[in-house]
Structure 1
Amino acid sequence: MASTIAALLTALCVPLVVHAARTRHEPATAANQHFAVTWAASADRLKAGPAERSYRLVVRTSVGGNALRIRLTNAFGDHPVTFASAYAGLQRQGAELIRGSNRRLTFGGQSSVTVPAGETILSDPLPGDVAAQSNLVVSLHVTGVQGPMTGHTLAMQTSYATAGDHAAEEAAVNWTDAMSFWYWLDAVSVQTSTAISSVVTLGDSITDGWDSTTDLNRRWPDYLSRRLQAATDSTVKGVANEGISGNKVLADGGGEAALHRFDRDVLAHPGVDTVFVHEGINDIKAHTGVTVDDLTAGYRQLVDRAHAAGKCVVGATLMAYKGWPEYDAVGEAVRQDVNDWIRHGGVFDAVVDFDKITRNPYDPQALLPLFDGGDHLHPNDNGMQAMANAVDLAALRCGG
């Protein structure tokens, strides 16, 4: 642990090298290096907030590398947003950073940047190494906010906010407002070997981590990330969690539908070779008349778009939800038929049977009590770990 922290301190204390005009283009890299996404969170439209405020956002890296860069999004804003300053450091505890780790980020060589409504922007690469499985802290001072903000509501991670500009500070004293949202930051990538790739987990609140323990990184993609880091024979090391609570495959509601956000939340990330799709239960339980044919057609579209971009797709069966208020026999019949199609339809490059490993063998329409977070839909920490353990790591390479 001490050696890891020392390495991270050394990395983030390297003097910043400015690379102009690289916010909208891939930076030049060595022939055997490329960028790979190490963390992500799906963005959505949020209510308006204060015009001037600082945000200290705590995120967890998956794959390690160098030349860290962040992606800031104003995808759902109606007005430009100015990021007057941005820093990246390492968490010591709470809002406090490890001394000497907080380094300024730039955008096209400038310390501030204005992002127009509907757009995203990349920072310049920050020289130095960043370790896998580290608590990265991105601090933003934001000005000129008008109207809706862009962010992610179900962070399952405590971040912090404060009035004024305190982004450069490493102490926690001014960061008095704890919060459970991530604002504007929707991706972090690092430069790593071209032999290394990332997987995007596309899903709903189950993938987002609802009912897992806050601040302990116990979402099923987190458990999967730890398995991938420990697997010496796996070239898939990065995990980008693109779950969003209430999300559907077909219709907007809890965020944009998977079909509508696929380009931004999957295809736009660097270094991604594999997409892991686990959603559809919200389409079914919404009682909007979605049929098996409707949902499987949506899956086919996702797979076709991924294949066209040169990526493989793993599909996962939909888990039991008997006991949830919207459960009924009609929806259960659709779920069973959809799962049969996922298992045997031959559309996905690989299949993981989440339903089989999480259901109650004595009541197959319900979650196993050991895995039930209490609402009969969302798994607890035990269930999240069981889901991750059910993934054949070789399947993430889709035979490649």
Structure 2
Amino acid sequence: MIETNSGWVRSWGASPQAVHDGLGSFEDHPPLADVTLRQVVRVSGGGHRVRVRFTNEFGTGPLSIGAARVGLATPGGGVRPGSERVLTFSGASAVTVPAGAPVLSDPVDLLLPALAKLSISLYLPERVETCTCHDPGLETGWMIPGDAVAVPVVPENAEVLPVRALISAVELLTDGPARTIVVVGDSRVDGTGSTPDTNHSWPELLAERLASQGAAAGYISNQGISGNRLLNNGIGVAVLARFDRDVLATPGLGHVVLSSGGDIAISFAPRDDSLADFLRMFPGAPVTADDVIAGYRQLAARARERGVRVYATTIPPYGDAETYTPEGERARQTVNEWIRAGGAFDAVLDFDAVWRDPDRPSRIREEFHSGDYLHGSDAGYQALADSVDLSLFD
């Protein structure tokens, strides 16, 4: 048994990225200045005391936060009256975050049930040249002119914020033992293809199942990055390079789930003009199935040093996607055979078996992909979440 944790536990997370290292959703936006960002996150497990981790980890200069608040979110960006809490930083209402650093707010008392939606508002009084973000956001956020952290509803002059900006985690104190499951990987962890504003990534859907059971491990931090790879940087820092920050440093860490297949899709993609611009986002030499297996071995060993259980998902099919090739399919099968039988993990979540079409095993079942034969639909992500044995997290 893993020892449970009665201190801080992470209940929501999003891996930080440089604004130019994502999908481009915010790349051409003017620098932020004299604006309030209001963002909504859904926690997984509940608690009674809250702190927020803000991030300037990819900033090129200091980040000034002039004011910040949290509260229970209502639809459309509102805040439930009476739930508003002012956030401070070492007792001060404002803070300057150095380039390359995060900052934790002081904790505030706020009762958050499991799966509650939390509104986070922060005012940026000075110009933010480089915005640390997570792209895409998959939950609507807003940019409101001026200091609007105390505004109860989003005004008409607000603009939609297309990314998670300057926030990377919500951590809670709980009423009993608790521990966090960190899921790390690529776009199929991140929830690409799911309906925005519905919390339909498979880790969020798994959190719903765990919450319904009242599980102590019902806290999930989703550290997927769309376009991410295990071994090489490209869209976001590679899993091997960000593993200490995004996974092993997680408060209350109890389980790690590894779920990354981007290396194979990129390394074995067709080298033709139709994909040339896309592939330029992924530097580095192509990797082999053996390279991917070696990377998984490294991650498993590093996680076990922290005394946590390590699980892996098999790589789901991607036949008929733009990056598909028969050579890539053979590499995927090789890696999956090793994941299932190599003995490197405490358990295997066989997502390949859940998604593959019985008539064409190299391709996702029609009802489970979002139209691109690569990413899940809401039904596809639900099927993945439903396939997970909850007893693995006892």
Moved more, 155-164 or 277-286: 277-286
Distance 1:175-1:235 versus aligned 2 partners, 3 A rule: farther
Q: How does 1:1-400 map to 2 (within 5 A)?
A: 33-46=6-19, 47=27, 49-173=31-155, 176-193=158-175, 195-232=177-214, 234-287=215-268, 288-397=285-394
**Structure 1 residue aligned with 2:275:** none
1:271-321 CA distance string (max 9 Å, x none): 111011110234443335311110011111111111112221110000000
* Distance across 2 between alignment mates of 1:39 and 1:365: 33
Give the superposition deviation at 1:32: 7.7
Structure 1 gaps of 5+ residues are 1-30
User: CA–CA distance in 1 between the matches of 2:157 and 2:94?
Assistant: 21
Note the C-alpha offset of 1:175.
Answer: 5.8
Deviation at 1:259, TM superposition (A): 0.6
**d(CA) in 1 for partners of 2:364 and 2:245?**
32
| C-alpha distance in 1 between matches for 2:208 and 2:332 | 30
CA distance, structure 2, for counterparts of residue 281 and residue 256 of structure 1: 13
Structure 1 CA distance for aligned equivalents of residues 8 and 267 of structure 2: 39
State percent identity of aligned pairs.
39
How many Å apart are 1:193 and its aligned residue?
4.7
Separation (CA, whole Å) in 2 of partners of 1:226 and 1:207:
16
Regions of 4+ moved over 6 Å: none
8 Å contact kept, 2:49–2:108: yes
CA distance in 2, matches of 1:338, 1:270: 31
Give, in angstroms, the shift of residue 52 of structure 1.
2.5
**Shift in Å, 1:345:** 0.5
- Do 2:263 and 2:292's aligned partners in 1 also have CA atoms closer than 8 Å? no
8 Å CA contact retained: 1:36, 1:198: yes
Closer/same/farther in 2, CA of residues 41 and 175 from structure 1, 3 Å limit: farther
Which secondary structure does the structure 1 equivalent of 2:72 belong to? strand
For 1:118 and 1:224, the matched residues in 2 are separated by: 32
SS in 2 for 1:236: coil
- Describe the superposition over 1:51-73 as per-residue Cα deviations: whole angstroms up to 9, x where unpaired: 32110011001110121000011
The one-letter code of the counterpart of 2:177 is A
Q: CA deviation at 1:257?
A: 0.2
Q: SS at 1:227's partner residue?
A: helix
Q: CA deviation at 1:168?
A: 1.4
Q: 2:157, 2:41 → 1: CA distance?
A: 17
Equivalent residues of 1:284, 1:334 under 8 A apart: no
**What residue ranges of structure 2 are gaps of 5+ in the alignment?**
20-26, 269-284
In structure 2, give the amino acid aligned to 1:253: G
Structure 1 distance, partners of 2:5, 2:241, is 33
The separation in 1 between residues aligned to 2:316 and 2:75, in whole angstroms, is 36
Q: Alpha carbons of 1:175 and 1:87: their partners in 2 closer, same or farther (altered >3 Å)?
A: farther
Indicate conservation of the 8 Å contact 1:85/1:140, yes or no.
yes
Calculate the aligned-residue CA RMSD, in Å.
1.6
The CA deviation string for residues 323-362 of structure 1, in whole angstroms up to 9 with x for no partner, is 1111001111000000000000000111000000110000
